[in-house]
Structure 1
Amino acid sequence: MKGSQVSIQNVHKQFGDFVALDNIDFTIKQGEFFTLLGPSGCGKTTLLRILAGFEFPDDGAVLFDDVDVTGLPPNKRHSNTVFQNYALFPHLSVYENVAFPLRLKKLPKNEIDEKVRQYVHLVELDEHIFKKPNQLSGGQRQRVAIARALINEPKVLLLDEPLSALDAKLRSNLLVELDHLHDKIGITFIFVTHDQSEALAVSDRIAVMNHGHVLQVGSPFEIYESPATQFVAQFIGETNLFEAKVVKCESYKVEGKADIEHMVTLNVPALGMQAQLTGDTQATKEEDKNILVTDYEHTDEGQQVAFTVRPEKIRITLEEPNVNGRKDINVFKGIVEEPVYTGFQSKFYVKLEKTGTIVKVFKQHQNYLDEGPEIQWKDTVYISWSAEDGYIVEDIEK
């Protein structure tokens, strides 16, 4: 069983005056686990329904392997859909629910029996094969729905928030099973979710959507580490985000590295004056009022941008860090306003000394009491991060 390449070409959809999809255009690769990610109302389910044939676009086209399927009904496409509410027949057993699509095709009884048992085994429900849906857990019912969708051997499996009705632990377990299932059968999975952690965990690539637009398409690493817009930076995980202005662009040699870095100096009003990097925290030189960030996009001087740095990229210490004169390390002093212990990590909300801005810092717990003194509420601390760990984004939605 092999998947199809799915091309979405300038798809536009309106419901009255409401624009659900505004000229969506991208291609999903054959056999890819691809996720449509975004908040409620962003257009992801509408796009999935268009791919399935339950809705039709006002403009644009949908192609499966270069064949235009835009006007075809669901049963004429090489795709099947798994819904969040399972859509099982309550009066039929697992066996009969999975067999139902084959009975509609009037296949021979022995062929139906062989295929049903094959797909029930694929989703690991052999011992439950003759139970009714009300005798199964939520995760088991969803696996029945997946087996029924797969038994027609589609080239594309569409999954409309299939885990949203499950509790957190069950959702996590089924997500892993879904990923393994994709690896086994190799068809194209198109997965709709509003849960960032789900998308990051299983996807080959992700399309982040908002207000009917696709803001960024990329791998989980690219989406998280290199967000294209303010919305993507804030929606994917947690981050610190500030308005900034580019005041200088230059090439810069980082000690210990062979390559020349393209560096940008930013004026970030919310962060105010930076401590002098030689150790004199009372410095007031003009160049120390800015921060440095590695320039991946080659921005221009005078450009208004947004600057983001993830909380886990920031180091927090009770002692001022010794940066050995390195200009690519940004250092600020502040007070711990709120420490939050979450088991595997602690979250610190640090109020900066100069501006009062709150910066989020996450500290992973790797070794028990092996990382120096414990940081507590109202402690004076220093936060620091490398220029490589900040990122410049432009908000294209403005």
Structure 2
Amino acid sequence: MRGGKSSVLTAPLLFNSSCWHPRIYSNGLVHRITVSGVTESALVSLLTLSILIANLVVIITINSSKYAKFIHPQPRYLVTSLACNDLAIGLLVTPLAAFSALVHCWPYSEIVCQIQALLRAALPQQNAMILVFMAVDRYTCMLHPDKYHKHSSKKGCMLVLSLTLMGSLTAFGAVVIRRGGYYYNGNGLMACEPFYQRPSLRILAACLFYFPTTMALMYFYGSALHVDRLRHRQQINICAILVQPMLTNNIATKNSLNEASEQVSSNELRQSIRTTRTMGAVALCFIVAVTPWTIQEVVTACTGSKMPPAVDFFITWIAMSNSFWNPFIYWSLNRKFRGISRSIIKTKIFCRKKYSSSVISSSCNLGHQEGCCANGDMCFMTLQKDNEVIIEEDRESTESQDRGGFPPTPPPPPPYHRANSQHCPARKF
């Protein structure tokens, strides 16, 4: 309903939007399926599947032993926590909207609607807090590396993440737990959301979700990347000042200074810079995805109007798609992550094993070619390669014997014998 900022709003009854309402159920749910409903349901299903697969790959890859040496423990916990939150969104929030988008009604019970409304608000808020913690982590690592490595710990990181999650669930639980604190949004999310009795509370919730997070992300990442740029310039200037007076004195000194200047940017610093840039891209994607949704929330709450259903659906699901873009950014910007995740997918999911030539040659023989290798051609190629190696070793040993006093090998046959021998059949042993 339309009202001013001081008016008290009442949530619409969920039973009126239920698929089992006599007004809806008597006509049959099949007649409610339209082309737009099928399109919206397909988009929701595709996004849900993408969120689940992408975040599962992130969780497995980030916590694998191969990738552990390329990332510090604390950012690994934060990235894992963010991926787990996105995975929870893909499991508990977005799938319920697939069927309701198809039939444009709520097919589940009221308790499911209440739980979904709570998670719909608490999990994105927790994601915003995790992004802020990631920005603070990168800021401290780039500006104060000694203090960062001294005070960073797994227990402290997990304690902060647990407290923020409990705080988000408590804050939005106070809104949703009462009757009338949730409703079915049949235009945008196609699922249940928290209902605010006053427009001012709706504006406050949207602003607290967006503005502190955006300002913190821009400040911390901007400062960290600026320090990295200044540090790079200082390294170039220092190396130039040190090398220039020595150019006319000693070439060896110049080479040693060049080696020292290359060692200034250590693996630790480069690893921190790569992690900072990747997390900065994740933060930028978050800002781009949720900005239209925040503007819509503020405008509709201030004016008391409603957006067109197609526009509301498009803006809402762009914001929800942020759970998929985070793994895509990891994949695009991190070469190590891309290679290790491909290896894990091939070996763990598609069960493709990497065979080395030494292992195959030691296990494959003429009598057990079928049992030791999954592919007979692989065994044949390996044996052929081993035979070539043996022939080459025999030739080298023969040459060494010739140099040691043994009779020389006979010369090759004349050219005409060589031409005639080309037509001779190959002997079978």
TM-score bin, normalised by smaller chain: under 0.3
Higher relative contact order (CA 8 A, sep 6+): 2
* Larger Rg over CA atoms: 2
The alignment's TM-score, normalised by the length of structure 2, stands at 0.20
Which structure carries more strand by proportion?
1
